[in-house]
Chains A and B, each alone.
Chain A
């Protein structure tokens, strides 16, 4: 007999029977749910319960909008010819979407852009994620709201020609000036649903962007604070021994500061590096910090380097004395050649 079984039998012996009955009572809502399941199943329609197959996205659990950081072409930085476009995801309560590495389940949000005459979007800059416990496994992502950031470069010729030709055909304008994004994401609570939308950033005849408002710059700036910075002020290396990684972190500049947080966590960029569900043990040793975590059971060869995000977690404390940087992006060499097994 297993120990847990023994414990349960022990409990049964000491608890009056009516208590046990109380424990086993099925809540009314569950009975109702099961009735719905059975009624629907009787019509041969089990899929309809879980699948929202309507093509429009008004039933989506996430509503998405595009938010440009500037009002129009005229306000784009002339040094870089780049402006930031926020992909503002408003997530229904209780649900979440995923980071670039979703962890043990889930899918990262993807954006496919239609080709455009003079606007070229870059890769997504991801704000630091949070952790979610889903049925005992760990995933990385966002709840409530997240603003993914995409740098969009403006071709310099277009930028310089701020005065538009008045002769241009309106139909051509529409095709040329609307930047289309096809956005796909997986949203999960107790179940997961793939959702998608198509959005456009319109550019009017004066070069003005759609979706801009006075709050736009603030929204973008807030999100930028949460995007982990690749910084030079920290030195890190990882050692792999007996199936465990030990990451050693040394401040490389006077301004580098260990955040005063009991929620420091390393989020690897890739799956299959660490056990996402394993606890991460953080301890200070003099001027250095060590973070220990179990290597992924799926790790087959020792990686040359590991890249990921070190976050100060819920505390939001900074990794620098003079700047507010709650998460840093680090790439570190793996110094031991020992295999995980």
Chain B
């Protein structure tokens, strides 16, 4: 194959350009600022747009069902309990899967439905983000990485689900859960005490 210098130069220039653009795109969501809007398709094929849920509290939960840190919260029923408890209080809970096809945690829509059913999970919807676009917009780094959005669409909490960064199932009980704490305070009209906390878990498999 013949390669001429100018096409290599153009290619290099293109790569450079792409690299810079990625660096600029890498902005971080901020507490007290508008949560990045998105539209994603759920496991049943229905589209959901975040801004359609303004006037409601929204929780975003990043999922990789095979990650030991996620298993901790599902095997103990902790995540399902939170989903159900806050669904009953009108909170819209989105579970988001940003694993790329072929990587751990990636699920086809039918698999996602099946696993949701098997785990008796109670999210409003399981959203599929196989190209990782929404995960990256939120700078979601681990599973479970958690976000709480208030009814004005502002980010109120982001980070760890609780203060026990372990995969040990016994650590669920007695942990300080930052998601329920934030939701409870906001629902009482108070401000959130812990708005960010170092998240823990497996890396998101983009």
Contact = CB atoms under 8 A, between A and B. Distances in A.
Interface of A: 2-4, 6-8, 10-11, 14-15, 30, 33-34, 37, 41, 44, 46-47, 49-51, 104-105, 107, 134-137, 184, 186, 188, 190-194, 271-272, 296-298, 300
B188 interface: no
Contacts of B197: 272, 298
A4 B141 contact: no
**Those 9 A-B pairs whose CB atoms lie nearest each other, nearest first:** A4-B21, A3-B21, A135-B203, A272-B198, A7-B17, A50-B66, A298-B198, A7-B18, A271-B198
A137 B17 contact: no
Given A105-B202, A105-B203, A297 B17 contact: no
Q: Is the interface of A mostly helix, strand, loop or mixed?
A: mixed
A3 B200 contact: no
28 contacts: A2-B25, A3-B21, A4-B25, A6-B17, A6-B21, A7-B17, A34-B102, A44-B114, A46-B107, A46-B111, A46-B115, A49-B66, A104-B199, A104-B203, A105-B142, A105-B201, A107-B167, A135-B204, A135-B205, A137-B203, A190-B104, A190-B205, A192-B67, A194-B68, A194-B167, A271-B198, A297-B196, A300-B195
Contacts of A191: 66, 104, 202, 205
Nearest to B141: A137
Contact of B28 (A2, A49, A297): A297
B43 to A, nearest CB: 14
A3 B24 contact: yes
A46 B25 CA distance: 34
Contacts of A49: 66
Interface of B: 7, 10-11, 14, 17-18, 20-22, 24-25, 28, 65-68, 101-104, 107-108, 111, 114-115, 141-142, 159, 165-168, 194-206
A51 B104 CA distance: 11
Given A11-B11, A34-B101, A192 B115 contact: no
Contacts, number: 101
A3 B101 contact: no
Contacts of A15: 11
A44 B60 CA distance: 27
A4 B196 contact: no
B18 A8 contact: yes
Contact of B102 (A10, A30, A107, A134): A30
B75 to A, nearest CB: 11
Contacts of B67: 192
A1 to B, nearest CB: 11
Contacts of B25: 2, 4
Nearest to B159: A298
A3 B17 CA distance: 8
A193 B67 CA distance: 8
Given A134-B203, A186-B68, A3 B196 contact: no
A30 B205 CA distance: 15
Contact of A47 (B66, B102, B202, B206): B66
B205 A41 contact: no
Contacts of B108: 41
Nearest to B167: A194
Nearest to A273: B198
Nearest to A193: B68
Given A8-B18, A107-B166, A135-B203, 9 more contacts: A3-B20, A3-B24, A4-B21, A4-B22, A11-B14, A14-B10, A14-B11, A137-B141, A194-B68
